């Protein structure tokens, strides 16, 4: 099959690749429809690795995906050929201690699409465990199905925050993950989200939402806005979703006493913490690594209309133009939040 292959940093090729497609009894074969270009995909493209995960041999990119079931294994009963689906990209060992304790995202043996040495899904067909394949409701498009994965990260963050109805939440960073975290915080009960970023074009996507206050941090101090909107008390939750080390400067000043900091973004370097500032407010600190048992909830929220992800799908490229899609994603245009790649429809018989 043709695949979008990362040969090494800065070198992508659309070429034939031999990928086994054996359908086991609990697997499904899926014809791909839409794949989102994730920040991690772009990072592999630009740098050839993320931390300990290094691309040492050619690897297919892509892990935010939707498609159509083409074949089901002999033991699969909840899916059938023709079903529209999205796929959770991380597959744990089903008998691992992490899986048995309900935190399968933390299984050291998890196999995650487009994380070396595991191939991703930017290829016409994939085989995937049926247990991690979810039928799309009729009113959820393929594009929306392919953005379930980043929304799941936002929902994992909201879950870890233990939001209460009426909370005020700050989200630092309005890229894909920050945007999805803001939507998740509102769905989780936040009465107001204060969303901060350096890029006004990304903040503008929330202009029509009365529950979101946007802050261009180039023009004003985020702390001043938080104080003004909370009568000086501080936010109940702060989600750091930018991955910028600079975002941690004074971050505990944004929180109310007993508040919670949720670390969603991944800084490139180590970050120093002000321990006294944490202790003085008894700040609770949580962290997020992907998600567990979240995909069905994300789908339900999109289908209900409570969460609208459509405005964050910026541009769509054909599979044959996949290299161009990555070049555009790597350019980091202010107006782009989520770029997606679509596969061609099969030829009529």
Domain with CATH 3.40.50.720 in the chain: 153-287
pLDDT at 219: 86
At 152 the three-state DSSP class reads: helix
Annotate 202-253 with DSSP letters as a single string.
HHGGGTT-TTEEEEETTTS-HHHHHHHHTTTS-EEEEEE-S--GGGGTTGGG
* Euclidean distance between CA atoms 21 and 141, whole angstroms: 26
- What is the third-level CATH fold of 153-287? Rossmann fold (3.40.50)
pLDDT at 220: 78
pLDDT tens digit sequence for 84-132: 999 999 999 999 999 999 999 999 999 999 999 999 999 999 999 999 9
pLDDT tens digit sequence for 209-238: 999 999 999 987 999 999 999 999 999 999
* Euclidean distance between CA atoms 268 and 297, whole angstroms: 30
Instruction: Say if residues 170 and 222 touch (Cβ distance below 8 Å).
Output: yes
What homologous superfamily does CATH list for 2-147+309-342?
Medium-chain alcohol dehydrogenases, catalytic domain (3.90.180.10)
With a cut of 80, say whether residue 347 has pLDDT above it: no
pLDDT tens digit sequence for 26-43: 999 999 999 999 999 999
pLDDT at 277: 95
Return contacts of 307-311, CB within 8 angstroms, 24+ apart: 307/151, 307/183, 307/184, 307/187, 308/183, 309/144, 309/147, 309/151, 309/180, 309/183, 310/141, 310/143, 310/144, 311/205
């Amino acid at each position: 099959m043709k695949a979008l292959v990362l040969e090494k940093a800065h070198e992508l090729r659309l070429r034939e690749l031999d990928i086994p497609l054996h359908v086991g009894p609990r697997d499904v074969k899926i014809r791909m429809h839409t794949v989102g270009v994730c920040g991690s995909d772009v990072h592999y493209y630009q740098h050839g690795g993320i931390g300990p995960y290094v691309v040492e041999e050619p690897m297919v990119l892509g892990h935010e995906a939707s498609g159509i079931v083409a074949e089901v294994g002999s033991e699969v009963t909840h899916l059938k050929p023709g079903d529209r689906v999205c796929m959770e990209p991380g597959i744990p060992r089903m008998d691992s201690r992490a899986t048995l304790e309900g935190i399968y995202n933390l299984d050291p043996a998890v196999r995650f699409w487009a994380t070396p040495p595991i191939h991703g899904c930017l290829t016409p067909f994939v085989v995937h465990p049926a247990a991690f394949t979810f039928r799309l409701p009729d009113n959820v498009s393929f594009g929306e199905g392919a953005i379930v994965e980043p929304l799941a990260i936002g929902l994992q963050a909201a879950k870890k925050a233990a939001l209460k109805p009426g909370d005020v939440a700050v989200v630092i960073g309005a890229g894909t993950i920050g945007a999805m975290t803001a939507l998740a915080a509102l769905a989780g009960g936040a009465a107001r989200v204060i969303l901060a970023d350096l890029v006004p074009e990304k903040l503008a996507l929330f202009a029509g939402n009365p529950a979101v206050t946007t802050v261009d941090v180039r023009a004003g101090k985020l702390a001043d806005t938080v104080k003004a909107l909370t009568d000086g008390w501080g936010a109940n939750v702060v989600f750091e979703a930018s991955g910028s080390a600079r975002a941690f400067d004074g971050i505990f000043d944004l929180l109310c006493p007993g508040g919670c900091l949720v670390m969603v973004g991944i800084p490139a370097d180590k970050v120093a913490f002000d321990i006294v500032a944490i202790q003085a407010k008894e700040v609770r600190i949580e962290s997020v690594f992907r998600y567990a048992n979240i995909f069905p909830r994300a789908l339900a929220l999109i289908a209900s209309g409570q969460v609208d992800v459509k405005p964050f799908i910026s541009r769509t490229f054909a599979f044959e133009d996949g290299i161009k899609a990555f070049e555009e994603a790597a350019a980091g245009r202010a107006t782009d939040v989520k770029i997606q790649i679509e596969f061609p429809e099969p030829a009529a018989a």
